[in-house]
Amino acid sequence: MKLDEGRKVALVTGAGSGIGKATATALAADGYAVGLLGNNLEDVIPLAGELKALGFIATALKADISVESEMRKAVEHLIAGFGRLDVVIANAGINGVWAPIDDLKPDEWDRTFAVNLRGTYLTIHTTVPHLKTVGGGAIVVVSSINGTRTFTTPGATAYTATKAGQVAMVQQLALELARHGIRINAVCPGEIETNIDDNTSLRGEEETAIPVEWPEGQVPITGGKPGRSEDVAAAILFLVSDKARHITGSPLWIDGGQGLLR
């Protein structure tokens, strides 16, 4: 479809639920045409329908972010439909298997790295040429407090390593992409009400757990309650806006103080 002149386009991976869904909704409400990318179309078609019913512009896209051919096809489909790309939210990821290091299987390690690190790389790799075409843009990678501020999640070695790697990628690329007018930052959520636990397998917790004692739970600012996806989406919306025009290569922790406690 032909967009109104000046309307910007955003791609959100893992857009079907949680932080991705909240971010896509916030971007659409802010005037962006939004590409909703999910591992299955069934994950994102309902949100596309909801946004269109509200008068927003959205399209559903399918790709396994760890597969180059699928990512290229999805991005090409987005460009064919909307004609440009200005903002990329690399949100899709998995918790994977959390287990003692001597129990964690190589294929479990590889799968977490394939989705979280290779997937983030492919998301950026396939979209940056289009950001360059429009003369700049903004990328936000959804990392975690794990591996960047805390290291106490039981058995989460693979997950933690990928999240640390994402922040390192952001900081490296901030300098590389600056000459093209492209900003890239990371958000690092703590405990957030999402369904990511659905793709978590936890084994041997008693061997790796680090006890945390706090009178009101592990999120001090909320009396122990998890944050909301909308809290992260609001920070992402700021980071891709002109209000954040002088911010790049920065991790932003959105954890209610949890990382300081743990």
Q: Is 232 in contact with 21 (CB distance < 8 Å)?
A: no
Structure tokens given for 199: 């793709």
Query: Regarding beta strands 96-98 and 200-202, do their DSSP bridges make them parallel or antiparallel, or are they unpaired?
Result: parallel
Which of 80, 172, 156, 79 is closest to 120 using CA atoms?
A: 172
Cα–Cα distance for residue pair 43/61, rounded to 1 Å: 10
Q: Is 38 in contact with 215 (CB distance < 8 Å)?
A: no
Q: Is 18 in contact with 24 (CB distance < 8 Å)?
A: no
Give catalytic residues, as residue numbers.
159
Unique residue bearing structure tokens 């294929």: 107
The dihedral built from the CA positions of residue 111, 115, 120 and 125, taken in this order, carries a sign that is positive
**What secondary structure letter does DSSP report for 227?**
B
Give 145's Cβ-side CA count (13 Å radius).
21
Q: Which amino acid is at 196?
A: I
